[in-house]
Amino acid sequence: MGTESKYQMKVVNGDFGYVLEDVPHLTDYIPNLPTYDNPLRSNPAYSVVKQYFVDMDDTVPQKIVVHKDSQRGVHFRRAGPRQKVYFNSDDVRACIVTCGGLCPGLNTVIREIVHSLDYMYGVDKVLGIEGGYRGFYAKNTINLTPKLVNDIHKRGGTILGTSRGGHDTKKIVDSIQDHGINQVYIIGGDGTLKGAAIIYEEIRRRGLKVVVAGIPKTIDNDIPIIDKSFGFDTAVEEAQRAINAAHVEAQSAENGIGVVKLMGRYSGFIAMYATLASRDVDCCLIPESPFFLDGSGGIFEFVKKRLREEGHMVIVIAEGAGQELLAAENSNGGSEQDASGNKLLQDVGLWVSHKIRVHFEKKLKMPITLKYIDPTYMIRAVPSNASDNVYCTILAQSCVHGAMAGYTGFTSGIVNGRQTYLPFNRITEKQNNVVITDRMWARLLASTNQPSFLSTKRQHSQSQLLDGDDNESEITVALSATFAYHNVRLIGSCRNLFEGVGSVTVPQLWAVTDQSQLTYAGQQLCARNEAFYLLEFKQSLTVDQTVPHYGCDSHAYSKTLSWNIATEDCCQWDGVTCNGFTGHVIGLDLSCSFLSGTINANNSLTKLDHLQRLNLAFNEFDDFPLGDSISELSSLTHLNLSHTGFNKGEMIMIPPGLSNLSKLVSLDLSRYFSNLHVDGTTFTSLLHNLINLEVLLIDFVEAPFELPKNFPSSLRYLSLRGTSMFGNISESQIFHLPNLQVLRLGENPLLTGTLPNFSWSFSGSILEMDFSYTGIFGKLPDCIGNLTAIRVLTLSRSNLTGNVPSTISKLNKLVELDLSYNHIRGSIPESFGNLTRITSLDLSKNSFTGNVPSTIRKLNKLHSLSLSSNNFKGSIPDIFSNFSELSFLAFDTNNFTGPFPYSITTLTRLESLELQNNSLTGPLPSNITGLQELQLLDLSFNYYTEATPPWLFQCSSLFNLYLQDNQFTGKLPYEFNRSSSEYFRIDLSYNNLYGEIPDWMLSMSIGRLDLSHNFFTGFEKQVWRSEYLSYLNLENNFLQGPLHQSICDLIELHVLILAQNNFNGSIPGCLGNSSSSISILDLRMNNFYGVIPRFLPTGLQYLGLYGNQLTGQVPRSLVNCTSLVALDLGNNKLYDMFPVWLDKLPNLQVLILKSNLFYGPIGDLESEFPFPELQIFDLSFNEFTGTLPSNLFKSFKGMMDEEKTGSTSTHTDYVYNISLVIKGNEYDMSITSIMTSVDLSSNRFEGDIPNSIGSLSSLVLLNLSHNSFRGPIPAEIAKLQALEALDLSWNRLIGEIPGQLSSLTFLEVLNLSYNHLAGHIPIGKQFNTFPNDSYCGNPDLCGFPLSKECGNNNVSDESQDDADDNEDSYFASGFTWEAVVIGYGCGMTFGLLMGGLMFLLEKPKWYVNFAEDIAQQIAAKKRRRQKKRRQRRGLRMN
């Protein structure tokens, strides 16, 4: 944390040994703070409670069992509400943060803090800090409201997220100040509360009026002083499920043993209480009570005794128990820590299980069935039970009471059944442990009838010493050794998906079997017993050829089908290899044999003593084959279990016994889509013991531990891709392995360090090296040129910098080079031309500059070349005529200029050509000689001109054509001369194409067609026959006439955009029927007339009908469209009352009914929670009347969340648009999720403005102008802290302008003109910027900016002229929110089009000056946007 806590105790002494260990108070360092009456005085819920307020002198004793002559002892301050509080509720801005590990009840505590602050004290500004302490300075916050947190107690975990570490005192306190936070609630364990103490001290040092309050959290119940910690009861209850399962498993098998590991790093409370509660446990092991395994009175003896008596037993062990024994075995243990500083534990459950198995099965030859259950993460992730929910409520409420009362630097807790406030240091000074001399532990011993292992062992050790044994006793080692901690959370990977091992395959590296060991034809060699073992093995598994096995070819079959008794010689069976002289089975290859089932530890496979090669790859088993008994196959030299899917849901551990196969030469455990894990201890043992190992593959096996420092020097093939290993590669001895030929460490993002700049020991032997998607950084070392034998070098997606060293040109055997997604700069060395064997070169996503060297022409064996997303300039060299093998070429997203390289058109094998996002000019070649296999062509975002050449539509294999954002002109060809009529995508948008859309475009098989933003005037023949078309965009053309009914035949159509054309006629009714799959229907700005068709239940998400001539009513069938997000019916001739039934649409975010003929009152809404997601609500320019419902805005949840980012869109990548009309000009804008607005202007609403408008905390634009609203301006509007534009003009509002409005710091546009307002205009940072026009037409207003001074009844001529001169007042002509929001939607917070309107309307000089500034900003922003658009990688929609 950077500093240690200097927490000062606050102690008060009294008579008879009375000691009060008090908690700090704000008045300790901020004198003369004002106090306020506690709001609970007027809270009806507490009016019936007698003596609800806690007396200031009430304390709680630490000890309640005393003798008659005992001193009074230590006391703590009693928790609860005080009559006076030190915070005004309106001034409180609280925050909540959760840190450390998960625990049941976290969400309940969060919920109750929020509810207590709101319902008890009226505090509605509560921030949630996401991601633990680092969330303070990472600015990750969410607004917590009672509604948001109402049901979170039903979920496990924490909605705020959590993390360990991240404590930076200065940054945290700076953030607290920046956010204006004055109450900080911290939920965490002892490490978290130590950090809270430091935060409190820094706040006190700065003299801030900020309370720091904690709620202690630890599932282990190891916090001192308090009765218990929250989540403990739930943990004990959930542990019963695991114990019951273990008991059932043990009871159901002969000599069954169930081992359950429970949480308890230093304290065994969960294990002890779960054992007592269960009554099925035979042995409980906890950290406080050391134990030993072997010898008289040890665990083994007790297990043997219980198995003989009962036939089964259950062992419960806390995770911290026996760590001293593991540390004694593992010299590397005990050094690792988590981010909170806790030492990482080794898995004692696995260790004990392994020891028991080995002892009974190997030493005693006594068969047992042992099941190990680790429910750790299941327990801590569940929601809290009823008992803990009540407990969390008490803790949270007590904490809030204390904070409001001014106490700080404290935690709330229950001591002897009473609520108390405890100083931080008493919580963190030590840990609570089970006292093994206490009655509770005695009760457990009586329940399990287990011995006290420690005392027995001591006697045993003493007898050994008396007998003259000078070896240190086991218990002495246990008590003196340091704890070794290694507790790794293992995450399941996915099922197997075959992928070849690359250009260098495993078989190439395996030694060829000696010919003398192969079976000779015609000889009957197989031993009968081994044939029997094989048949028994076959019967233990099933064959399921219906299950797909990725990686197996179409000729794969089950080899075991040929195994039968009729064939006497098993050496002739498929997949079986025998020694040519002895007849022993030495090889078994059952890969891709469709096998499934379980290969148990006692499987007959273990009896094949001479087996040297075993290949079970690409099958499906329930568990790791043979488990720990695989160690019995002691002759194995080659083992392949790769891509073997495991059907069991839980993680599968690589058994430690695997490391006993000391003869192994090759081991392949790589896999995809599986849940195989290996712990650090097993892997270290494996590397240490397998001294002959040459091939090791564990790709995508979960191994979340540090990259080992040492590896066997015999290794030739090492592949650890996707293992989650971490560490610094520079500190590993990998680069000193002399025989290494393949090294793959890719897809391990936590591997860091630099590539060392010395001669690597394997420089002359390495064939392939992969460090892709790792955290390596720094420059490519010059010694890279020493890898003279290398074929494949993959360094993509790392953090490499600097220039490419010239020595790379020495790699003249290189076939594949991938440096993509790095930060490499400079130019490509001319010496790259020496890499003449290279077939794949990828330098994309770097910072290369300069011109492409002409020496690239020498690389004529290239299949793939990518230089995309760099800063190359100049023309693309015309060097491709001899690249006869090239299939992929990408030079996109650079600064290339000049014409299209003609030599590209000669490439007969080119399949993908990407030149988009450059500045290429001129026409395209009119004729081509190649490109017969071209499938993708992307020339978008360039400056190509003239007509599109016919060959673009004649390449028979072209499926994706992107030409958008160019300057192509002319007509599209009417003839379609190509053998295939199938396309996937065609995008010709944003060009200058004109004429008619040819008929072949409407009839070919195409998925997406975009011809928008051109000058098309019609169709050659408007008949829609493209059965696979899912996306059609013809927006912003000059198309006209009615829509042909055949558009209903496009059954796969999801997106239909015909906006801004001249279509007319009625909308085809089929577009709304249930067989339609349309989700986006955009028909805005056309001339459609008639009624809106009836919509049946569909997946419709956006319906845009703005700017047509539609009449009639809004069809009630729209209520069936429950996926509807945006509904824009503005600017039509709809005649209807307000469609209240729309409030039932759960996802509706945009509702625009403006500029129609709607009439009547809004009326009572039908839903209990109407319009929960609404963000834009526009009813302007209609004939609505009556008063607004008082609850109209209360459920607009979409306008209550301040933390909004991004845009509102669908899975189709279509951004919703709405149309606005400003002074007769029509604009089209995209809707972003940060845009929120309410526009009810130009209607006939009357009555008061509802106070509920104040709940819309994220509202940006509010326009209620041109109505008949009466009464005062609601002060609640001041709660709209995100408000940027407010227009209440042309109403009948009275009274003064609320002074609270001056707190609206984002308000940039204000219009209160033409009302009956009176009194002083508020003064504030924003209010001082508003002109006279904001207030004109209110003759009784006074103060700045009006010339009328308050207290002066005379109205100056100047102010009177302002009030009367409607010609020179923009607001007088009717301000509408569109003037602001149109600019806002384009990316600025103020209306960017305001300036242009000022010119058009000949407004005053100050407006003209303002408009000039805005116009300059618009031009600059447009230039920047165009530049960025050309830098991004196309507009390809997936």
Q: Is 1292 annotated as a binding residue?
A: no
User: Which residue, among 143, 208, 144, has the nearest Cα to 182 in the 3D structure?
Assistant: 208
Q: Is 78 annotated as a binding residue?
A: no
Q: Is 909 annotated as a binding residue?
A: no
Question: Could you tell me where the beta strands, DSSP code E, fall in 1248-1382?
Answer: 1261-1263, 1268-1272, 1285-1287, 1292-1295, 1309-1311, 1316-1320, 1340-1342
Instruction: Give the integer Cα–Cα distance in Å for 925 and 231.
Output: 73
Q: Which residue has the tokens 């923009």?
A: 1370
Q: Is 380 annotated as a binding residue?
A: yes
Q: Is 157 annotated as a binding residue?
A: no
3-class SS at 89? Answer: helix
| Cβ count near 1116 (within 10 Å) | 12
Q: Is 319 annotated as a binding residue?
A: yes
Q: Is 174 annotated as a binding residue?
A: no
Give the CA angle between residues 600, 605, 607 to the nearest 5°.
115
293-305: buried (b, 16+ CB within 10 Å) or exposed (e) per residue? bebebbbbbbbbe
**Is the sign of the CA dihedral 193, 199, 204, 208 positive or negative?**
negative
**CA contacts within 13 A on the Cβ side of 961:** 21
- Ramachandran angles phi, psi of 355, nearest 5°: -65, -40
Q: Is 101 annotated as a binding residue?
A: yes
- For the purposes of burial, counting CB atoms within 10 Å of the CB of 143, is it exposed (0-12), middle (13-18) or buried (19 or more)? middle
3-class SS at 56? Answer: coil
Q: Is 374 a catalytic residue?
A: no
User: Which residue, among 1207, 1196, 1194, has the nearest Cα to 1234 in the 3D structure?
Assistant: 1207
Q: Is 1137 annotated as a binding residue?
A: no
Q: Is 377 annotated as a binding residue?
A: yes
Q: Is 357 annotated as a binding residue?
A: no
Instruction: Give the integer Cα–Cα distance in Å for 1203 and 1010.
Output: 34
User: Which helix (H) or strand (E) element contains residue 1360?
Assistant: helix 1357-1364
Structural tokens at position 1212: 């189709």
Q: Is 489 annotated as a binding residue?
A: no
User: Which residue, among 1267, 1264, 1265, has the nearest Cα to 1256 in the 3D structure?
Assistant: 1264
Q: Which residue has the tokens 């009556």?
A: 1186
Residue type, 1297: I
DSSP letter at 146 equals: H
Torsion of CA 1088, 1091, 1094, 1098, to 10 degrees: 30
Structural tokens at position 1217: 């648009």
Q: Is 987 annotated as a binding residue?
A: no
Instruction: Give the integer Cα–Cα distance in Å for 80 and 412.
Output: 10
| Cβ count near 1323 (within 10 Å) | 11
Please list the residues that pair with 1261 across neighbouring strands.
1237, 1285
Q: Is 632 annotated as a binding residue?
A: no
Distances (CA, A) of 416 to 76, 199, 268: 11, 29, 21
User: Which residue, among 552, 539, 456, has the nearest Cα to 499 in the 3D structure?
Assistant: 552
Please pick, among 220, 628, 770, 1082, the residue that the annotation labels catalytic.
220
For residues 1342 and 1352, the answer to whether their CB atoms sit within 8 Å is yes
3-class SS at 659? Answer: helix
Q: Is 620 annotated as a binding residue?
A: no
Torsion of CA 1038, 1040, 1045, 1046, to 10 degrees: -40
Q: Which residue has the tokens 């430091």?
A: 198
User: Which residue, among 1117, 1255, 1226, 1247, has the nearest Cα to 1184 in the 3D structure?
Assistant: 1247
Q: Is 220 annotated as a binding residue?
A: yes
User: Which residue, among 1042, 991, 997, has the nearest Cα to 1016 in the 3D structure?
Assistant: 997
DSSP letter at 1322 equals: P
Residue type, 909: R
Annotated binding site for ATP: 101, 164-165, 189-192
Annotated binding site: 101, 164-165, 189-192, 218-220, 263-265, 319, 377-380
Annotated binding site for substrate: 218-220, 263-265, 319, 377-380
Annotated binding site for Mg(2+): 190
Query: What positions carry a catalytic annotation?
Result: 220
